[in-house]
Homo-oligomer: A and B are copies of this chain.
Amino acid sequence: MSTTKFLLPEDRIPTTWYNVVSDLPKPLPPMLHPVTREPVTEADLGPLFPPELIEQEFSTRTDVDIPGAVLDVYRQWRPAPLVRARRLERALDTPARIYFKYEGVSPAGSHKPNTAVPQAYYNKKAGVERLTTETGAGQWGSSLALACSYFGLVCEVYMVKVSYQQKPYRRALMETFGATVNASPSELTASGRAALAADPNATGSLGLAISEAAEAAINSGGKAKYALGSVLNHVLMHQTIIGQEAVLQMELAEDYPDVVIGAAGGGSNFGGLALPFLREQLRGGRSVRAIAVEPSSCPSLTQGTYEYDFGDTAGLTPLAKMHSLGHDFVPPSIHAGGLRYHGMSPIVSALKDLDYLEARAVPQTACFEAGVTFARNEGIVPAPESTHAVRVAIDEALACRESGESKSILFTLSGHGHFDMQAYLDYFAGKLED
């Protein structure tokens, strides 16, 4: 009858991040320099990231200590709850057991602060004064703004102009946390000025905002560095706090997932949940089905090719071997802004290539339908990105109803939809296109 939370005591919060790279059956293909096409070195990344994050990016150590100052911040909202969705199970009339790990309890409302906080911390420690970043819908920008406010760093966000204009409340959240938000393209960088010279009415793109943010860091004389919210190895590693907690909470629930599910844009949310469960399997132990869910309008894992590609549109970043739709692919403007990325993290891509995980692409209308079902039964309005995981979790539970199997299904509810209610209004009004 009741929804059951599995709360981990604060003193059982994991104190290390899990680095899956150490358990991969073969080494991860290195990133390549955009000009020389040689493997990227730690020195190459110096202008962008502080030393300890670069070290983590290349690290093959299995367990990396979480600094005490980062744990202190994590403890503001972590351990995040793991909830048995009993009302949803009943509504679906399924024998399946459905669990969700809820990351919307963070002050920014998503899983993104799990990496924003250590990134801000290591930059502060390295004497950096300012962090630059890009943001589309604003989930990442608001998380980095929050993290910077904790550590006394200046935060400078380049927000895709069309979002800047259409999502004033996300911008207001960043500003409330003390960040400076610039509409991109801006007059502040050469890339921005070039774009405006070409088209004074340009509404921007994530690729261009990345260029502006990186340029601002590189030209800061060492005072500023750049921060990225997904894709990279160190980002996925920081997010394993999600799955490590979930492993312990499933023990509290005296259960183990048959399937773990997460929405995948750059891959850090999905990886954050799935990697600590896949660890067992990578070591020859208990196996689990891991399903990465992507929008059918931006299907990098299901339709992309596994090859070297640039991380940004302009081809300024290193190349990574990843499932990609091509760095010039422009996804349609679906509401799940966090899933509109042409590529996929190298770690998730490699695991897909090695058949350690499944990928599924779903259209957005079916996702919002699942999101509303979830909200009416569990009381939480999912972010548009998170509805993708909800959709597949519900589909798996309905399959159990057909087959009569009582599977254990676990998904990440990566964030709440409080800043995305226009998407729900559009869904109710029948305005969404698939």
Contacts and interface: CB of A to CB of B under 8 A. Distances in A.
A424 interface: yes
Given A87-B150, A379-B107, A75 B428 contact: no
A165 interface: no
A201 interface: no
A380 B380 CA distance: 18
Interface stretch (A41-49, A175-183, A301-309): A175-183
A69 interface: yes
Contact of A168 (B107, B168, B376, B421): B421
Give the dominant DSSP class at A's interface.
Answer: helix
Nearest to A371: B176
A62 interface: no
Given A421-B173, A428-B172, A3 B76 contact: yes
A139 to B, nearest CB: 13
Contacts of A150: 87, 379
Given A3-B75, A376-B177, A172 B87 contact: no
A381 B176 contact: yes
B169 A76 contact: no
Contacts of A322: none
Interface string A165-193: 00011001101111000000000000000
A3 B172 contact: no
A296 interface: no
B424 A379 contact: no
Interface string A115-150: 000000000000000000000000000000010011
Nearest to A377: B149
A372 interface: yes
B379 A175 contact: no
A257 interface: no
A10 interface: yes
B425 A172 contact: yes
Given A1-B69, A381-B176, A428-B175, A149 B376 contact: yes
A355 B372 CA distance: 48
Interface string A362-396: 00000000001001111111000000000000000
A421 B178 contact: no
B421 A76 contact: no
9 contacts: A76-B83, A107-B380, A149-B379, A169-B425, A176-B381, A176-B421, A177-B379, A418-B419, A419-B421
